Structure 1
Amino acid sequence: MRITLLALVSLAALAASPARADLHITRDHGGYVEEYKAKYGRIRDRHERVIIDGICNSACTLVFGIVPLNKICVTPRASLGFHEAYYDKAFTFGIKVTSADGTSDLMSYYPDTVKDWIRRNGGLTTEMKKITNGEELWKIVDPCPDEW
């Protein structure tokens, strides 16, 4: 088979262009804040999109402060959960010990729309506060368009 110059140029262009990948969040209960900051920083830097199509709790919600909001959308199945930051229970003998500095750090990342919702709902506490209502979610982030 002969490969034409046009085919080679097209192939080279495809190989050189960055691949677009969407992050689909369907069941993310959170974890270490620093790991989420790094993960979402990479997504932001690669200009990728985030589709929240299920549970996004705890550190997962940092996505709203790191990835531009125009790159994030929610489906009708989306659910957000917020709570105070706490130390790793492995270091506190299984006891949930909250961190005022960690909570302040979390809040510093959130856009005003998220901060406003948190304030209207009594602030961050040790208990998970959830947004599952479409209208409340859409005050923070747009619903996913069909083409996403």
Structure 2
Amino acid sequence: MLMTRAIGLFAAVLMALPANAETVSGNPGGQIVNFALHVAELRAAEEPVSFDGACDSACTLYLSLPAEQLCVSLHASFGFHLPYGVGARQNVVAANYLISQYPDWVRQWIEEHGGLSHTMMRMGAEEAAKHLPLCGVLA
């Protein structure tokens, strides 16, 4: 009985998402330029993005999309840290770019948690859901 309800709920959530929705789950990030280009494509196409797991590092650029394009599940989380790996000057440029792209509520949360550092800081779904709709929940 419980399994049947769980499957029914999962199916309802999937049906509430458009067929072309992108789901982000377990994304460790990568090169900021690649994510910036992909986010620009999603913004232009107005494609929805749902978060259903970890979205870390450069992946957090998805949060720069309009809130109407995004939704979070209760399994979502976001990991923030300073960019690294290219060179000191480029890393500063990358960090400034990231911060400039985030919506105000993300920048404020980062600031309240000590700012970006080389240590990953994690925002949970409960915080993100204060600013983004929950996936599969009709308004």
Regarding TM over 0.5, the answer is yes
Q: Report the AA paired with residue 142 of structure 1.
A: P
Q: Report the AA paired with residue 72 of structure 1.
A: L
1:72 deviation in Å? 0.3
User: TM-score scaled to structure 1, two decimals?
Assistant: 0.74
Find the counterpart in structure 2 of residue 71 from structure 1: 69
Contact 1:114–1:140 at 8 Å: present in 2 too? Answer: no
- Residue 118 in 1 paired to residue 113 in 2? no
Find the counterpart in structure 1 of residue 4 from structure 2: none
Alignment: residue pair count? 121
User: Tell me, which stretches of 5 or more residues in structure 2 are unaligned?
Assistant: 1-17
- Give the Cα–Cα distance (whole angstroms) in 2 for the partners of residues 71 and 43 of structure 1: 9
Runs of 4+ aligned structure 1 residues displaced above 4 Å come to none
Given candidates 132, 135, 139, the residue that maps to 1:144 is 135
User: TM-score scaled to structure 2, two decimals?
Assistant: 0.79
- Give the Cα–Cα distance (whole angstroms) in 1 for the partners of residues 22 and 90 of structure 2: 29
1:97 deviation in Å? 9.6
What are the superposed Cα offsets for residues 7-45 of structure 1, whole Å, 9 maximum, x if unpaired?
A: xxxxxxxxxxxx951000111000000000111111111
- Give the Cα–Cα distance (whole angstroms) in 2 for the partners of residues 117 and 98 of structure 1: 24
- Residue 25 in 1 paired to residue 17 in 2? no
User: Tell me, which stretches of 5 or more residues in structure 1 are unaligned?
Assistant: 1-18
- Give the Cα–Cα distance (whole angstroms) in 2 for the partners of residues 40 and 77 of structure 1: 22
Secondary structure in 2 aligned to 1:102?
A: helix
Cα-Cα RMSD: 2.2
Which protein, 1 or 2, shows the higher relative CO under an 8 Å CA cutoff with sep ≥ 6? Answer: 2
Contact 1:87–1:97 at 8 Å: present in 2 too? Answer: no
Pairing 1:6-21 to 2, within 5 Å after superposition:
21=20
Contact 2:73–2:125 at 8 Å: present in 1 too? Answer: no
What are the superposed Cα offsets for residues 114-147 of structure 1, whole Å, 9 maximum, x if unpaired?
A: 000000000000000001251x122332211346
